[in-house]
Chain A
Amino acid sequence: MSLLEITDLRVSFPGRGWRAKPVEVLHGVSLDVAHGETVGLVGESGSGKTTIGRAVLGLLKPSGGTIGFNGETISALAPRQRRRLAKDIQVVFQDPYTSLNPSLTVGDILAEPLVVQGATGKDARARVRTLLDQVGLPADAAERLPREFSGGQRQRVAIARALAPQPKLIVCDEPVSALDLSTQERVLDLFIDIQRSTGVAYLFISHDLTVVRHISHRVAVLYRGDLVEMGPAAQVTSEPAHEYTRKLLLAAPVADPSLQRERREARRNLAAA
Chain B
Amino acid sequence: MEAMTTPSTELIVAIEDAAAASRTPIWKRLLRDPQFVVTASILVVIFLLGILTPLLTQHGPNDADLSMVNAPVGTPGYPLGADETGRDIWTRLLHSINTAAISAIIGAGVALTVGVIAGLIGGYFGAVTRASTEWLFSLIMTFPGILLLIILMPVTGGDYRFTMLIFGVLLSPGIYRIVRNLVVGVKNELYVDAARVSGLGNLRILSRHVLFVVRGPIIIAAAFMAGSAIAVQSGLAFLGVGSLQIPSFGAMIASGFRNLYIAPTQFLWPSLMLGVITASLVLLGNALRDTLEGSKPTPVKVGAGQKVAADGVAKAHASGALLEVTDLGIAYRGPSGQPREVVRGVSLSIARGQVVGVVGESGSGKTQTAFATLGVLPPEAVITRGSILFDGQELVGLTDAQMRPLRGKAIAYIPQEPMSNLDPSYRVGSQLVEGVRSALGLSKREAKARVIALLERCGIADPQRTFDSYPHQISGGMAQRVLIAGAVASRPRLLIADEPTTALDVTVQAEILDLLRDLQSELDMAVLLVTHNFGVVADLCDGIVVMQKGEVVEAGPATEIFQNPQHDYTKMLLGAILDEGSVRADAPAAAPAEGILR
Contact = CB atoms under 8 A, between A and B. Distances in A.
A251 interface: yes
B580 interface: yes
Contact of A210 (B3, B536, B580): B580
B1 A213 contact: no
B507 A255 contact: no
Contacts of B2: 45
Contacts of B212: 103
A91 B590 contact: no
Of all A-B residue pairs in the complex, the 10 with the closest CB atoms, nearest first, are A86-B199, A253-B535, A36-B589, A35-B591, A37-B588, A199-B592, A113-B198, A255-B534, A44-B505, A251-B510
A237 interface: yes
A36 B198 contact: no
A214 B532 contact: no
Nearest to A237: B583
B300 interface: no
B507 A247 contact: yes
B401 interface: no
B286 to A, nearest CB: 24
B573 A207 contact: no
B147 interface: no
A35 B591 CA distance: 5
B461 interface: no
B207 to A, nearest CB: 12
A196 interface: yes
B6 A86 contact: no
B507 A50 contact: no
Tell which of B209, B508, B580 has the most Cβ of chain A within 10 Å. Answer: B580
A201 B588 contact: yes
Contact of A90 (B197, B213, B582, B595): B197
Contacts of B577: 181, 255
A83 B199 contact: yes
Interface string B179-198: 00000000001110111111
A248 interface: yes
Contacts of B576: 181-182, 184-185
A179 interface: yes
A174 interface: yes
A6 interface: no
Nearest to B536: A253
B509 interface: yes
A257 interface: yes
A168 interface: yes
Contact of A211 (B361, B578, B587): B578
Given A50-B1, A255-B562, 14 more contacts: A38-B584, A84-B199, A99-B191, A100-B191, A116-B198, A116-B199, A116-B200, A147-B19, A178-B5, A178-B6, A199-B590, A207-B506, A217-B584, A260-B535
For chain A, which range describes its interface: under 10, 10 to 19, 20 to 34, or 35 or more residues? 35 or more
Contact of A260 (B200, B209, B508, B539): B539
Contacts of A100: 191, 194
Contacts of A97: 7, 15
Interface in A196-236: 196-201, 207-211, 213-217, 233-234
B4 A94 contact: yes
23 contacts: A3-B591, A37-B588, A101-B191, A112-B198, A113-B198, A151-B362, A166-B597, A178-B6, A181-B573, A197-B597, A199-B589, A199-B592, A213-B583, A213-B584, A214-B578, A214-B582, A215-B584, A237-B583, A251-B510, A253-B539, A255-B534, A255-B562, A260-B538
Contact of A254 (B535, B572, B583): B535
A105 interface: no
A214 B583 contact: yes
Interface string A72-103: 00000001000111110111011101111101
A35 B1 contact: no
A217 B586 CA distance: 8
B129 interface: no
Contacts of A184: 576, 578
B559 interface: yes
B8 to A, nearest CB: 12
A97 B8 CA distance: 13
B358 to A, nearest CB: 15
Interface in B59-78: none
B110 interface: no
A27 interface: no
Contacts of B190: 93-95, 98-99
A71 to B, nearest CB: 13
A181 B7 CA distance: 13
Nearest to B587: A217
A54 B529 CA distance: 36
Contacts of B204: 116
A209 B579 CA distance: 11
A59 B534 contact: no
Interface in B522-558: 532-539, 558
A104 B507 CA distance: 40
A208 B4 CA distance: 12
Contacts of A257: 538-539, 558-559, 562
A170 to B, nearest CB: 10
A58 B580 CA distance: 35
Contacts of B536: 253
A93 B584 CA distance: 22
Contact of B590 (A35, A116, A168, A192): A35
